[in-house]
């Protein structure tokens, strides 16, 4: 069992989402529709511009929420999830057109137990990856983007990036953060923090 911060830091867990490719294709249809693009549209890669939660959308997004939650809590003992507290989740969509990428970044400046970041791949051109680096700036994991694949990393301080999309086909991911009540209480008045919903 993982029980210390060093073991938690940088640990990546792959989630097995049933019918994941079908869910991905259904999500893609909405995301690339005029309605979807209007909701997702933002001027640049800044969290403050994400004024929605993809897990509030109907159909395949509700199914995805259910299966991410089911898989996440299935590994409670393995990754030391504190089952005595509730959690909140915020999901958003990244559309990478040709030439787009997200450079190195993290989601928290300090390690906080029971906070997680995840990625569900909706559409993936060839040779597209999410990369993770350690505190020595060395890439310690590289996950190939494949439609229907889902993984979480067991902290929000690890730096990660997406590789450049060199295809004419868009790379689409649904990223999400999972946080505790203490984190939520400190962010819920923020324009992005108030997009979190209970993860129950």
* Structural domain span for residue 113: 5-198
Which three-class secondary structure state does DSSP give residue 12?
Answer: strand
Percent of the chain with pLDDT over 70: 88
Exposure of 171 by Cβ count < 10 A (0-12 exposed, 13-18 middle, 19+ buried)? buried
Q: Please, which pLDDT band fits residue 7 given cuts at 50, 70 and 90? A: very low
How many secondary structure helices (H) and strands (E) does the chain include?
Answer: 5, 9
How does pLDDT run across 147-158, given as a tens digit for each residue?
999 999 988 889
> Residue 175 sits in a domain of what CATH number?
2.60.120.620
Total domains in the chain come to 1
Residue 120's alpha-carbon distances to 5, 110, 172, 173, 175, in angstroms, are: 25, 24, 9, 6, 6
Indicate whether 127 pLDDT > 90: no
What's the rounded Cα separation, in Å, for the pair 101 and 111?
25
DSSP secondary-structure letter at 48?
Answer: G
At 125, give phi and psi (nearest 5°): -65, 170
Task: Return the closest-CA partner of residue 115 out of 27, 196, 51.
Answer: 196
Least confident of 28-37, 41-50, 53-62, 84-93: 41-50
List, for residues 66-125, the tens digit of each pLDDT value: 999 999 999 998 888 999 999 999 999 999 999 998 899 888 888 888 999 999 999 998
In the structure, what pLDDT confidence band is assigned to residue 1 with cuts at 50, 70 and 90? Answer: very low
Q: Provide the pLDDT for residue 200.
A: 83
């Amino acid at each position: 069992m993982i029980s210390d911060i060093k073991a938690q830091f940088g640990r990546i867990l792959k989630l097995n989402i049933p019918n994941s490719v079908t869910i991905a294709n259904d999500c893609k249809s909405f995301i690339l529709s005029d309605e979807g693009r209007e909701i997702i549209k933002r001027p640049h890669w800044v969290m403050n511009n994400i004024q929605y939660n993809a897990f509030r959308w109907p159909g395949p997004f509700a199914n995805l929420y259910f299966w991410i939650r089911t898989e996440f809590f299935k590994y409670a003992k393995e990754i030391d999830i504190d089952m005595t507290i509730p959690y909140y989740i915020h999901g958003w969509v990244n559309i990478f057109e040709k030439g787009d990428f997200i450079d190195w970044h993290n989601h928290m400046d300090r390690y906080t137990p029971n906070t997680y970041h995840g990625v569900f791949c909706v559409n993936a051109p060839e040779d597209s990856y999410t990369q993770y680096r350690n505190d020595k700036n060395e890439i310690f994991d590289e996950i190939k983007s494949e439609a229907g694949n889902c993984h979480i990393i067991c902290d929000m301080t690890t730096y990660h990036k997406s590789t450049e999309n060199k295809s004419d086909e868009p790379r689409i991911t649904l990223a999400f953060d999972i946080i505790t009540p203490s984190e939520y209480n400190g962010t819920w008045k923020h324009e992005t923090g108030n997009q979190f919903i209970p993860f129950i």
